Amino acid sequence: MALERIDDLVGGPARRRVIALLACVLALDSADKATVGAMGSNLESALHIGNTELGLLAAVTPLVGALATIPAGMLADRTRRNMVLVAAIALWSGAMILSAASVSYLMLLLTRLAVGVVSAAAGPNVASLTGDYFPGGERARIYGFILSGELVGAAFGFLITGEVAGVLSWRYSFLALAISGLALAGWLWRRLPEPARGGQSRLEAGATEIRSADTVADEPAQVDGSVEQRPDELVQEQVRRKRIPPRPEIVLERDPRNMSIWDAVRYALSVPSNRLLIIASALGYYFFAGLQTFAVIYLERHFSVSHSVATALLAVVVVAAVSGALIGGRLADRLIRHGHLSARVVVPAVANIVAVVVLGPAFALALLGPAIVLFILGGISVAAPNPPLDAARLDIIPHGLWGRAEAVRTVLRTIAQGIAPFMFGYVSEHVVASAHPSSSATGFGANASATGLQYTFSIMLVALLLSGVIMLRARRTYPPDVAAVMTTEQRLAESATSPS
């Protein structure tokens, strides 16, 4: 009965399966990041380290992942994406086993270098697969379900593996993640076929079977894999209706699949909306990564609660944030249907600004009850931007470049995620502590560490505010960039059908 309700919500059993698998890929990576934060106190005690070292431990994974993201984007555009994910997760699981076996901080730091492989593979491949499996008119809503995996994974990391660390040892937390990774790799191997590129494997509402690239190989294909101009493509339909001219300098005359990696990177960065959305997204993930790493320590020390209570409270906030992801995607698509063409960039902008307004007072409160209510509202607002933003990036890039363009975005996002934990830790221990040497005596926290994190979280809200402002600027560049993609696809189709 529950599966039937889920099928009704997402549009059929085939869609449910693909969404669940892609969401689990994102959940695995997010669970790892949350686990490091959830067992922060355990690691600091066991390894005799402070906030700065803990931040560095959380930072190395995404920074190394950033280096591997461009090659992962090339693979996403040119190879079987499902097998790339299987291989990446298998390697990741092996690295987690080595992390569990670490006997020192340095050894753990080194083993964490290899964990970035999932971050590198997940972004480009999940984006490309989503674009080929789901129609453009529904992508923001569908992305809401897929990106919920990030939040569910974070909740798993805070609540389950964090509790395992408290009851048993931090080593068992890493082992639990390794076992989960191996199980997911096997599930992907058996249940996620590689779709045909260009939309022939798209899962319409009610679909019961997944049509793989092999399944459609013998069927009449769209010319040269070009994307069909469909009436259900909400954004493109609005562009046609409003007769918005394309941005001429980004209209391509050649097949983007044949572009070199550097030409692809230059093109992705030449699209004005893409540049703005990449920066805005990186700022949002920067704040979330820092908060994720130190939230448990902050709750324990600021409100004087136990580790179990802190992880449980944070898990509640993260689970509530899932509704933000679902609302953000659904709201953006609905507004587009009502003629608001730039809704996929305006909705995220407003959500981030609302998050700043809500979380600012939350960090200033000393009472747990009112603070948690504001944290829940803030979590919903922070989660709302990602589904429409991810859908918007597919709107403004030709489908032959989806993997490499997403790799560019993922590089900058993972660098931001890598820098954030170290910066949050360093600012809380050194900058804030030196600026407020007597802060531990105030009513803002139980000790200097809690007060340092409190001030740091408040300062770093500037990143969310800047993200919202930048996205508001993108509402003007987004429509002509979408029109340029439409013109590119149309010219490529005409070129392929013309006599040689």
**Structure tokens belonging to residue 81:** 């994406």
Backbone angles phi, psi at 50, to 5 degrees: -115, -170
| pLDDT above 70 (res 102) | yes
DSSP string, 222-240: PGGGPPP--TT-HHHHHHH
51-78 and 448-497 are packed helices; what angle lies between their axes, rounded to 10 degrees?
10
Under 8 Å between Cβ of 465 and 353: yes
Under 8 Å between Cβ of 460 and 287: yes
Give the domains, in start order, of the chain with CATH numbers: 10-196+262-492 (1.20.1250.20)
- Which stretches does DSSP call E strand in 121-209? none
| pLDDT above 80 (res 40) | no
Distances, alpha carbon 261 to alpha carbons 55, 133, 329, 340, in Å: 32, 24, 31, 34
Under 8 Å between Cβ of 110 and 101: no
The pLDDT of 304-314, averaged and rounded, is: 83
| pLDDT above 50 (res 442) | no
pLDDT at residue 359, as a whole number:
94
CA atoms of 335 and 320, how far apart (whole Å)? 23
**Position 231 confidence tier, pLDDT thresholds 50, 70, 90:** very low
**Position 287 confidence tier, pLDDT thresholds 50, 70, 90:** very high
Considering the entire predicted model, what is its pTM?
Answer: 0.75
Burial of 181 (0-12, 13-18, 19+ CB in 10 A): buried
Of the candidates 94, 89, 95, the one whose C-alpha atom is nearest the C-alpha of residue 111 is: 95
| pLDDT above 90 (res 474) | yes
| pLDDT above 50 (res 89) | yes
Tracing tokens 């190879």 back to the chain, one arrives at 79
Residue 339 — left, alpha, or beta (φ > 0 → left; ψ -120 to 50 → alpha)? left
CA atoms of 411 and 66, how far apart (whole Å)? 4
Burial of 43 (0-12, 13-18, 19+ CB in 10 A): buried
CA atoms of 482 and 62, how far apart (whole Å)? 30
CA atoms of 447 and 467, how far apart (whole Å)? 31
Measured at the alpha carbon of residue 280, what is the angle toward residues 145 and 30, in degrees to the nearest 5? 45
Question: Could you read off the pLDDT of 135-173 as tens digits, one per residue?
Answer: 777 778 888 888 888 878 877 777 777 677 777 788 888
**Position 280 confidence tier, pLDDT thresholds 50, 70, 90:** very high
Q: What sign does the dihedral 488-489-494-497 (CA atoms) show?
A: positive
The pLDDT of 221-235, averaged and rounded, is: 48
- In the Cβ-directed half-sphere of 291, how many Cα atoms lie within 13 Å? 23
Of 10-14, 206-210, 318-322, 371-375, least confident by mean pLDDT is 206-210
**Position 241 confidence tier, pLDDT thresholds 50, 70, 90:** confident
CA atoms of 273 and 268, how far apart (whole Å)? 10
Of the candidates 420, 394, 416, the one whose C-alpha atom is nearest the C-alpha of residue 486 is: 394
| pLDDT above 50 (res 106) | yes
The pLDDT of 230-255, averaged and rounded, is: 80
The pLDDT of 121-131, averaged and rounded, is: 83
Largest CA distance in the chain: 81
**Position 306 confidence tier, pLDDT thresholds 50, 70, 90:** confident
Residue 195: beta bridge partners? 212
Of the candidates 160, 139, 162, 336, the one whose C-alpha atom is nearest the C-alpha of residue 227 is: 139
| pLDDT above 90 (res 57) | no
pLDDT at residue 229, as a whole number:
40
Of 291-295, 445-449, 488-492, least confident by mean pLDDT is 445-449
| pLDDT above 70 (res 284) | yes
pLDDT at residue 471, as a whole number:
94
pLDDT at residue 66, as a whole number:
74
| pLDDT above 90 (res 481) | yes
pLDDT at residue 446, as a whole number:
41
The pLDDT of 121-136, averaged and rounded, is: 82
**Position 233 confidence tier, pLDDT thresholds 50, 70, 90:** low
Average pLDDT, the chain: 81
